[in-house]
Structure 1
Amino acid sequence: MNFLTLLKDSLPSLLSGLWVTAQVAVISLIFAVILGIVFGILSISTSSILRAISAIYIYIIRGTPLIIQALFLYFGVGQALNVRFNPIVAAIITLSLNAGAYMSEIFRAGIQAVPVGQTEAARSLGLNYVQTMSKVIIPQAIKIMVPSIMNQFIVTIKDTSILSVISIRELTLSGQIIIARNYKPFETYSIVAIMYFILITLLTLISKGVERKLHYGNRSK
C-alpha cells in the first residue's frame, strides 16, 4: 500500500476525527469563556472569599496535567457516582474546566488593563458594578484579550489529542485505529500531523489577521 492509497483509504475516517476535534474544541472554548469571565471577575473581587474560590480553582487546574483531569473525571468521578460518562461529554467538561482556568487569567489581566478612569467615569454616571463591568469594562477588555483567546483556542485544539485516553474518537484516536489495521504508523501519523499542522496554521493566520485588524482599529481612533 503506497502513501497515496493509504491517504485515500484513511481520509474519510481521519476527516471524521478532525470534525470531532473541531466540535469538541469549539464547544469547550465557549464554556471556557464563560468560566473565564466568572472566575476572572471573582479573582479581582473585593471579597477575599470569592478571590480564594477563584484561586483554588485556578491553582488546582493549572497544577495538574490535562490527562490526569480527563482520567479522574471519566473513570474516577464516574465510578464514585456510579455514572458512565459519554466520552464526548467528559472531553468537553475536561477541556472546559482546563481552558477556563487559563481564560480566567486572561480575563483578569484584560480587565485590569482597562484604565481605572473608565470605571470611575461609569460609576459617576450612576452605573452599578454589574452594569459597569458588562457595559463598559468587559467590552473594552475583550479587544485586549482577543489574541490571547485565539491562542488558547489553538492550545485547546492541540489538547484534544490527549483525550484519546478516554476513547473519544477524535483525530489522534482515529489515526491509532487505522494503524491497528494497516501497521503503518509512520505514514499514518504523518498524515495526522499534516492535518493538525494545516488546521493550526489556518487558525494562527486568522488570529494574526484579527490582531492586526484590532491594532489598526485602535490606532485609527
Structure 2
Amino acid sequence: MNLDFSQLVPYIPFILEGIWATLKLAGISIIIGFILGTLLALCKITKLPLLKGFADAYTSMFRGTPLILQLMIIYFAIPQLTGYDISAFLSAVLAFGLNSAAYVSEIIRAGILAVDRGQTEAAEALGVPYKQMMINIILPQALKNILPALMNEFITLTKESAIVSVISYMDLMRRAQIVGSELYRNFEPLLFAGLIYWVMVFILTQIGRLIERRLRHSD
C-alpha cells in the first residue's frame, strides 16, 4: 500500500485548528435551532391555525429538502437576490440553525406532549397564565426528558458540518482537503480527519450518556 503518514506530520497543527471551527459551527447552530425550534414547537401545539400551519410548513420544507441544497441556496442565492455578500461562516450557521430548528421543534413538541396532562389541568385550575405555565411548569419538565435527544442532535450536527467544505469554510474537512491537494495524497489527511471526527463524536456521546444517567438518577 502506498501510504506515507510522515508527510502529514507538518500539517497536523493546521488540520487540528479545524476542530474549533467545527465545534463552533455546531454549537452556534444548535443554539439557534433550539431557540427557533422551541418557538416552532409552541406554534405546533397552539390552537391558532395560522401559526400551526406555518410551523408545519416550515418543518416540512426543511426536513424534506437536502441540507446541502439549503446551504448552497443561502450561500449563492442570497448574494444574487440581495447583493449582500454573505460569509461562509454565516451561511453555514444559518443553514444548519434553520435546518436544526425543524428537527428540534419535533423533539420539543414530543417532550411537551409527554408531560402529564394533569400538570396543565392543575395549572389552568389555579388560574396560571398560559405563558407562565409553559415557562415555569411544562417546558422544564419537557426539557428534562428530551436532553438526550437534543444531545444526539448536536452530535449529528457535528458530523454533518463536514459538508460546509463545499463553500470553503475552513472546518476540519476543508483543511484536510487542502492538505491533500498540497501533498497530492488524499488518503492520509482524510483518514486523519475521520479519526478526529470519531474522537469528537465519541467524547460527545459519552457526555450525552453521562447527562442521561444523571437525569435518570434524579427522577
TM > 0.5 between the two? yes
SS of 1:94's equivalent in the other structure is helix
Q: Does 1:206 align with 2:182?
A: no
Give the superposition deviation at 1:2: 3.6
Corresponding position: 1:72 with 2:96: no
Find the aligned partners of 1:189 and 1:87 in 2 and give their Cα distance.
21
Contact 2:21 2:171 in 1 (8 A): yes
**Cα distance, 1:170 vs structure 2:** 0.4
CA contact (8 A) 2:38 2:108 kept: yes
Unaligned runs of 5+ in 1: none
Residue matched to 2:49: 48
Question: 2:36 corresponds to which letter in structure 1?
Answer: L
Matched residue, 2:186: 185
| Counterpart position of 1:16 | 17
Aligned to 1:58: 59
Q: 1:38 Cα shift?
A: 0.2
* Matching residue of 2:159: 158
CA deviations 1:93-148 (Å, max 9, x no partner) are: 11000111000000000000001100111122221110000000000000111000
How much does 1:78 deviate? 1.9
Contact 2:78–2:86 (Cα < 8 Å) also in 1: no
Shift, 1:10, TM fit: 1.8
Q: How far, CA to CA, are the matches of 1:198 and 1:180 in structure 2?
A: 24
SS state of the match for residue 83, structure 2? Answer: coil
> What's the offset of the Cα at 1:4?
4.1
Q: Which residue of 2 aligns with 1:148?
A: 149
Q: Determine what percentage of the aligned residue pairs are the same residue.
A: 37
Secondary structure in structure 1 of the residue aligned to 2:198: helix
1:156-207 C-alpha deviation (Å, 9 max, x unpaired): 0011101111111100011000001001111111100000000000000111
Tell me by how many angstroms 1:152 deviates. 0.1
Equivalent residue, structure 2, for 1:134? 135
User: After TM superposition, which residue ranges in structure 1, 4 or more long, deviate above 2 angstroms?
Assistant: none
Alignment partners' CA distance in 2, 1:67 and 1:205: 28
Amino acid at match of 1:59: S
Q: Which moved more, 1:36-45 or 1:11-20?
A: 11-20
- Answer yes or no: is the 8 Å Cα contact 2:4–2:188 preserved in 1: no
In structure 2, the partner of 1:109 is 110
AA partner of residue 140 (structure 1) = Q
For 1:10 and 1:52, how far apart are their aligned partners in 2? Answer: 51
TM-score calculated relative to the size of structure 1: 0.96
- Match of residue 5 from structure 2: 3
Q: Normalising by the residue count of structure 2, what TM-score does the alignment of the two structures yield?
A: 0.96
Alpha-carbon contact 2:68-2:163 (below 8 Å) kept? yes
Tell me the matched-pair count.
217
1:209 alignment partner AA: L
- Does structure 1 retain, via aligned residues, the 8 Å contact 2:115–2:141? yes
User: What is the distance in 2 between the residues matched to 1:75 and 1:2?
Assistant: 38
Q: Partners of 2:79 and 2:163 in 1: how far apart?
A: 19
Q: C-alpha root-mean-square deviation of aligned residues, in Å?
A: 1.1
SS for the counterpart of 2:29 is: helix
Letter matched to residue 62 of structure 2 = I
